[in-house]
Amino acid sequence: MATESARYGAYTTPGLSNENGHEVAKLLQDRLNALNDLQLTLKHVHWNVVGPHFIAVHEMIDPHVEEVRAMVDETAERIATLGMAPIGTPSAIVEHRTWDDYSLNRATTNEHLGALDAVYNGLLESHRKAQETVGEIDAVSEDMLIGQIKQLELFHWFVRAHLETVGGELSTGSESTEKGAAQAASDNADVTG
């Protein structure tokens, strides 16, 4: 049976100390957990979305799932390059996550998109914090995170475009929780279309 110490190699990438390389890898492990959770959540939404805009949302999600899966692979490989074993098991996600599990099942497009707005708010905030910290140590890992943020922000815009009024307001209002945002988006469905 492998021990926790077996997660760390006796090396990292040239130009970084083992301590710095492993510190970055630990930060990236948190991002790996978040991205693995996101890809599963997006697939769950893809299967469970219903309502008048079903096909648009259903088909919008799948290409992004593939992008997130590529981010997962890129992040795991960067962790390994830095000399630490990436952990991609479901228990690692559950044990180390700092966010609530996605709670909507069969729900309307507006409810799921409202909930996804809250999910992306949290994910992007934590990705940016990681990028800032990693940037002080390793420009290569920072560059990877910047590229991921760019793609995540683009999809978040797609989600928000469905929730936005002509006046530029989001139907989710100031809700910050997934359930609250889902309810607000549902309540305001007639405003956004």
Q: Using CA atoms, how far apart are residues 140 and 27, in angstroms rounded to an integer?
A: 14
d(CA 141, CA 135): 7
Mapping DSSP to helix (H, G, I), strand (E, B) and coil, where does residue 84 land? Answer: strand
Instruction: Identify the architecture of domain 12-192 in CATH.
Output: Up-down Bundle (1.20)
Q: Report whether 141 contacts 134 (CB < 8 A).
A: yes
Mean pLDDT, consecutive 10-residue stretches, the chain (193 aa), reads 65 94 97 97 97 94 97 98 95 89 94 96 97 98 98 97 91 88 85 51
pLDDT of residue 1: 43
Q: What pLDDT, on the 0 to 100 scale, is given for residue 9?
A: 83
The gap from C-alpha 148 to its chain's centroid, in whole angstroms, comes to 9
The whole-number pLDDT of residue 190 equals 61
Q: Where are the domains of the chain?
A: 12-192
List C-alpha distances in Å: 55 to 60, 73, 93, 135, 167.
Answer: 8, 28, 30, 40, 25
Q: What is the pTM of this model?
A: 0.92
* Phi, psi (degrees; rounded to nearest 5) at 50: -140, 165
